[in-house]
A and B are shown apart, each in its own frame.
Chain A
Amino acid sequence: MSSRELILGRVRAALRDRPRPGPVPREYRRTFPAADLDLLVDRLVDYRAEVHRVGEADIAATVARIVTGAVLVPEGLPAAWRPAGAVVDDRLAPDRIAAAAAVLTAAAVAVAETGTIVLDASPDQGRRIISLLPDVHVVVLRPAQVVASVSQALARLDPARPLTWISGPSATSDIELNRVEGVHGPRHLHVLLLDR
């Protein structure tokens, strides 16, 4: 007997009493008002991300002001967003990625209630590795990408894509529960929230 058959047999035997749980009560909030951008900003700042509310035309200049050094960008990032001298990730080796001062990406969805930004590895966000190794991550967010709740974010996302949910910079609370930013991921998260 294979372990698969053994385990499935054990589990079936364990359920000989044929439990019949009732329906799942779905009385929690499932409809939400329009996303509150100010709430998102408040939550992001609470998680020690830095928020810049800018027009689309100001993206490159804002990034240049935040970052000194090489800025890495995914291949699909709109050309108008790229700061001068941006390095394009055309399958760069990890040490080249780690050497970049910052990475600039778009995002897929953001959740106002929790201050969370989700990347889904679309061409304007790139491979997961590029938003992981550089010390600074700058994310451009369009207001239309912001939803109120976690459930709305899930509804917009494609589970077949690799997803990275980001709430503030890398942090640990392992030493006497003191929050320390930047253990392994980016130490600084900047969010450029575009005007409506």
Chain B
Amino acid sequence: MTTFLGMPATAPRGVGQLRGDRTFPQAAHAALGDAQLRRNLRHATATIRSRSGRVIAELPDWQQLRAAGSALKADVMARLPQLLQQLEARVSEAGGVVHWAADAHEANAIVTDLVRRTGSDRVIKVKSMATQEIGLNEALEAAGITPVETDLAELIVQLGDDRPSHILVPAIHRNRSEIRDIFRRSMPGVDPDLTDDPPVLAAAARKYLRETFLSTTVAVSGANFAVAETGTLAVVESEGNGRMCLTLPDTLITVMGLEKVVPTWADLEVFLQLLPRSSTGERMNPYTSMWTGVTPGDGPQNFHLVLLDNGRSAVLADPVGRQALHCIRCSACLNVCPVYERTGGHAYGSVYPGPIGAVLSPQLTGVADNASLPYASSLCGACFDACPVKIDIPSLLVHLRNRAPHPRAERAMMRAAAYLMDRPRAYARAQRAAKLARIAGRRGRGLPPPLSGWTAGRDLPPLPEQTFRDWWARRARAAEEA
């Protein structure tokens, strides 16, 4: 296949964090053996679920807000070229500079170059999924620039030389004593008698980062929303580290996925109600910062917005799959997912874990590169119910399973099954044959190779004593005789 310029393209290999080095079953198998991890996760997801349910119940119009959010996102996708150009024009008019990055390589190069031109060898970072997706920290380090994560959880992950495991609470897999140990080991100047009391740990992070905030001249952020109509960017957060990064430096560089644009200022009324209640289970997160270009005398005087494709156009090209781009990264689907709760986020291999990761990552990379992820689900549908913008994740999973490469034996079997089911008489004969096989006394509940893999983790349902066809025929005969 030839790649044509201007055709939708998936995220490139060898950069960023969208592909794991193991399949989901392999990684999940390891995670399932970690009792501490499962305890931490169960506690965390149950806590967020109950909190979120409480504040959602306060809004009488939650379902109407979801419907509006869903429709708004569909509208954004349909008008994406126009909205992006409008956003670009408004940001530029307000004194910002807009850059377009076709993939992770280009985005990293743009940001690295912008930082270099400031002369700074350090950047402070607001927690951002987009910059993790493209592996920006690794690219900056390779260029001799130190990226400092300022979100407490991201700092824990960075100091622990670890990877985030949740979209919203990246260090959810760590408990307080693990965090204390990481701080003691890796935080410069930390009190060696640090206890594992959460306020004490938070205070240690505050002390450690204060000086860095005040002395670093460049910040990198993501964006939760970008308003096409006004050119306004928005970042929601809790700790104030976001405000620090968005206010104190001279230069602000924001990396944003193309899909984050919303049409109008007033449309924020939908998303600012949906996001905090779905994600942290708060009526509103402690801080939301909004800015439009640069404001003379207040905040960064140089603002750069990097619009990132990195596979999004490929997701958009699938009329069924494109709704994965509606995601507002609230992580509600993670917190209700029985699979995520047991395996944790690392098992998904990508920075996007949980149900949304299982549909988003394979589409961003091409299904072949993440072929096990569409199977990382019980298809129970809890994620669909929880999603504030009504992404039909279960249907997307099934859709992607159909696009995933299947082993030859499985394909052959499915073709044979389809052939039989198309031909009633052959099907009846096959059923009789299966019954005979059972009578013949085959022991065990597994399938023979090459299908044995399917029954390695599942019980084969017992064949019924009587097929429906037999029952129906007998019933008809009985009626005739009576």
B273 near A26: Cβ-Cβ < 8 Å = no
Contact A167 B282 (CB under 8 A): yes
The segment from B40-48, B130-138, B342-350, B467-475 that touches chain A is B40-48
Q: What separation, in Å, do the CA atoms of A166 and B214 have in the docked complex?
A: 21
Q: Which residue of chain A has its CB nearest to the CB of B107?
A: A3
Contact A183 B240 (CB under 8 A): yes
Write the A1-44 contact mask toward B (1 if CB under 8 angstroms, else 0): 11111111111111111011111111111000000000000010
Do B81 and A164 touch (CB < 8 A)?
Answer: no
B268 to chain A: which residues have CB within 8 Å? Answer: 154
In Å, the complex CA distance between A114 and B419 comes to 59
Interface residue from A14, A24, A154, A185 paired with B240 (Cβ < 8 Å): A185
Residues of A contacting B280 with CB < 8 Å? 173
What number of B residues sit within 8 Å (CB to CB) of A?
98
Residue A62 interfacial (CB < 8 Å): no
The answer on a CB contact under 8 Å between B319 and A6 is no
Asked whether any CB of chain B lies closer than 8 Å to the CB of A160, the reply is yes
A186 CA to B232 CA in the complex, in Å? Answer: 25
Report the minimal beta-carbon distance from B47 to chain A, rounded to whole angstroms.
5
- Counting CB contacts under 8 A, is B120 at the interface? no
Inter-subunit contact A172/B298 (CB<8 Å): no
A49 to B401, CA, bound (A): 49
B193 near A: Cβ within 8 Å? Answer: no
The residues of B that contact A171 with a CB separation of less than 8 Å are: 238-239, 286
Contact A176 B269 (CB under 8 A): no
Q: Decide if B68 touches A172 in the complex (CB within 8 Å).
A: no
The reply to whether A14 and B316 contact each other, CB–CB distance below 8 Å, is yes
Are the C-beta atoms of A182 and B206 separated by less than 8 Å? yes
Contact A8 B65, CB 8 Å, known A14-B8, A94-B248, A167-B286: no
Cβ-based interface call for A196 (8 A): no
Q: Is A84 an interface residue (CB 8 A)?
A: no
Q: Which residues of B contact A159 (CB under 8 A)?
A: 227, 230, 232, 265, 290, 292
Contact B316 A114 (CB under 8 A): no
Is residue A144 within 8 Å, beta carbon to beta carbon, of the partner chain?
no
How distant is A40 from chain B, measured CB to nearest CB, in Å? 12
Q: Is A161's beta carbon under 8 Å from chain B? A: yes
Interface residues of B in 415-442 (CB under 8 A from A): none
Residues of chain A with a CB closer than 8 A to B64's CB: 25, 27-29
Q: Which of A121, A181, A185 has the most CB of B within 10 A?
A: A185
Contact of B201 among A11, A154, A175, A181 (CB under 8 A): A175
B214 to chain A: closest residue by CB: A94
Q: Does A57 contact B (CB under 8 A)?
A: no
The A-contacting residues of B in range 254-308, CB under 8 angstroms, are 258, 265-266, 268-270, 272-273, 280, 282-292, 295, 297-299, 307
Complex interface: chain A residues within 8 A of B7 (CB): 10, 13
7 contacts between A and B (CB under 8 A): A11-B258, A13-B313, A95-B214, A150-B284, A167-B283, A170-B286, A184-B150
Interface of A toward B, CB cutoff 8 Å? 1-17, 19-29, 43, 47, 91, 94-95, 98, 111, 113-116, 121, 127-129, 132, 149-151, 154-155, 159-178, 180-186
In the complex, besides A170-B238, A182-B202, 7 extra interface pairs with C-beta distance below 8 angstroms are: A150-B269, A151-B269, A165-B289, A167-B287, A173-B169, A184-B240, A184-B243
